[in-house]
């Protein structure tokens, strides 16, 4: 079957203060699509519209090639996992899983599901005091009992501490890869997006502002606001000074000039550059070898702060630049110290539209 796991076309919805505008989105079979966006972007409303809780003003939704636009939630065959996993507190784990079964035949699978998710020993327990990991497994077992065509995740990890969050995310990623059931995962967490997403769509103010392979979206944000949301530390205003024949664009930023390997934007003049702090290499005493493919800038530390194993530095190199060192490599550094920063020409990303 070649049908797309999920196909949303021209979806529009106005719901109180929230609105979705002409959203197109598709996910292929077995794919995990992460929908990333700031709070209030409309991600949850979008997900619940796919699940069938809101009737769109326009557009259509198909799941596994089946048009579900007019169907109620109970007929859409989606597995819906929410924050805290949404287990029914008045029922035991086994009863929760059995509630997912749509038929007698499905009910006979409950015991097998409990074993598969390693929660058979919790069958008679009520969910309230389960660990987050146990809750996630019980919720997945319950959703699976309803034999969904598509999983929908609405920030299931939002209330967890960092360690649990990471452990549960790894477990979920493993389960989704093994089950082959496609999923849409809504989050505002970059880590979730990178760890889970085959593909990524960034939503802001009710529209999809960028989509693509997860790594690609993070490497090449489509706009200044996307770059900002994706946590790009250095977003710099600049002016194109030369469009060299060597395929390198030269952009004046502050009192320095940076080279970047990027096609020139349509209109010359003002641009914005995005540089991830992780792509800036620093070398205290010895200057980094300038191999032609690097921008090498002489700078002066203006601020530094140690955060766990990393030290975050702000360097004045004609413009303020944020970079990281390992904390132990930063020992002995202090404000006013001089060092050189090297940035590969490929790591300087020109944001289209400049100012916007």
Partner 1 sequence: MVESEIYEDGAAAALPRPSPSLMLVFWLLGSLLLALVLLPLISLIATPSLADLIKAARDSEVRNALWLSLAGAMLTALVAGIVGVPLAYLLSRSRFPGRGIVAAIVDIPMSVPHTVAGIALLMVFGRRGIIGAPAEALFGLRFWATLAGIVVAMLFVSAPYTVNAARLGFEAIDPRLEKVARTLGMGPWQVFLRITLPLAWRGVATGLTLTFARAISEFTAVAILVYYPMTAPVQIYELFLRFGLDTAAAVAVLLLVLALALFIVFRQVAYGRTAPLGPGR
345: three-class secondary structure by DSSP: helix
Smallest distance, partner 1 to C-beta of residue 157, A: 11
245 burial via Cβ count (<10 Å: 0-12, 13-18, 19+) = exposed
Rounded to whole angstroms, the Cα distance separating 101 from 280 reads 53
Smallest distance, partner 1 to C-beta of residue 79, A: 7
- What phi, psi does 130 have (nearest 5°)? -70, 155
Span of 19-27, 98-106, 203-211, 233-241 interacting with partner 1 by CB under 8 A: 98-106
Rule CB under 8 A: say whether 180 interacts with partner 1. Answer: no
* Closest CB to partner 1 among residues 117, 319: 117
Rule CB under 8 A: say whether 332 interacts with partner 1. Answer: no
Binding mask 44-73 for partner 1 (x = CB under 8 A): ----x--xxx------------------xx
- For 342, residues 6+ apart whose C-beta sits below 8 A from its C-beta are 280, 281, 282, 283, 288, 290, 294, 295, 296, 297
Q: Show the CA angle centred on residue 187, arms to residues 181 and 190, nearest 5°.
A: 105
* Closest CB to partner 1 among residues 151, 324: 151
Of the residues 17, 129, 162, 285, which one makes contact with partner 1 according to CB under 8 A: 129
Of the residues 11, 113, 137, 142, which one makes contact with partner 1 according to CB under 8 A: 142
Span of 87-95, 195-203, 216-224, 316-324 interacting with partner 1 by CB under 8 A: 87-95
Rule CB under 8 A: say whether 17 interacts with partner 1. Answer: no
Concatenated DSSP letters for 191-210? HHHHHH-SEEEEEETTEEEE
Rule CB under 8 A: say whether 27 interacts with partner 1. Answer: no
* Closest CB to partner 1 among residues 151, 319: 151
The length of the chain, given as a count of residues: 356
Of the residues 100, 206, 238, 354, which one makes contact with partner 1 according to CB under 8 A: 100
For residue 44, the surrounding DSSP H or E stretch is helix 43-51
Q: Show the CA angle centred on residue 314, arms to residues 310 and 317, nearest 5°.
A: 135
Rounded to whole angstroms, the Cα distance separating 165 from 312 reads 24
Rounded to whole angstroms, the Cα distance separating 295 from 252 reads 12
Of the residues 8, 13, 63, 78, which one makes contact with partner 1 according to CB under 8 A: 78
Of the residues 58, 159, 290, 293, which one makes contact with partner 1 according to CB under 8 A: 159
Concatenated DSSP letters for 240-268? EEEE-TTSEEEEEETTEEEEEE-PPPSS-
Smallest distance, partner 1 to C-beta of residue 78, A: 5
Rule CB under 8 A: say whether 42 interacts with partner 1. Answer: no
Interacting residues with partner 1 (CB under 8 A):
48, 51-53, 72-74, 76, 78-84, 86, 88-90, 99-100, 102, 126, 128-129, 142-143, 145-146, 148, 152, 154, 158-159
């Amino acid at each position: 079957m070649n049908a797309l796991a999920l196909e949303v076309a021209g979806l529009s919805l106005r719901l109180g203060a929230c609105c979705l505008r002409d959203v197109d989105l598709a996910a292929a079979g077995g794919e995990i699509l992460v929908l990333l966006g700031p709070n209030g972007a409309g991600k949850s409303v979008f997900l619940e519209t796919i699940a069938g809780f809101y009737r769109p003003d326009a557009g259509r939704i198909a799941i596994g090639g089946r048009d579900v636009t007019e169907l109620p939630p109970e007929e859409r065959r989606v597995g819906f996992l929410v924050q805290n996993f949404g287990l029914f507190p008045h029922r035991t784990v086994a009863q929760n899983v059995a509630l997912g079964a749509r038929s007698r035949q499905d009910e006979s699978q409950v015991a097998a599901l409990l074993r598969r998710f390693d929660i058979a020993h919790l069958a008679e327990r009520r969910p309230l005091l389960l660990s987050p990991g146990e809750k996630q497994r019980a919720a997945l077992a319950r959703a699976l009992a309803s034999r969904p065509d598509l999983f929908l995740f609405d920030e299931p990890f939002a209330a967890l501490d960092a360690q649990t969050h990471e452990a549960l995310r790894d477990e979920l990623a493993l389960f989704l890869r093994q089950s082959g059931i496609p999923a849409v995962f809504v989050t505002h967490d970059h880590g979730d997006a990178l760890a889970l997403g085959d593909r990524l769509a960034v939503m802001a103010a009710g529209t999809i502002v960028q989509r693509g392979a997860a790594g690609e979206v993070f490497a090449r944000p489509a706009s200044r606001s996307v770059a900002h949301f994706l946590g790009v530390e250095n977003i710099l205003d600049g002016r194109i000074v030369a469009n060299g024949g060597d395929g390198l664009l030269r952009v004046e930023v502050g009192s320095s000039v940076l080279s970047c390997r990027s096609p020139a934007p349509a209109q010359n003049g003002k641009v914005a550059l995005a540089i991830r702090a992780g792509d800036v290499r620093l070398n205290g005493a010895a200057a980094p070898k300038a191999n032609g493919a690097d921008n090498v800038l002489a700078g002066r530390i203006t601020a530094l702060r140690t955060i766990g194993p990393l030290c975050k530095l702000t360097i004045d190199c004609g413009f303020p630049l944020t970079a990281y060192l390992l904390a132990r490599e930063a020992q002995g550094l202090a404000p006013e110290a001089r060092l050189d920063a090297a940035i590969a020409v490929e790591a300087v990303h020109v944001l289209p539209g400049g100012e916007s």
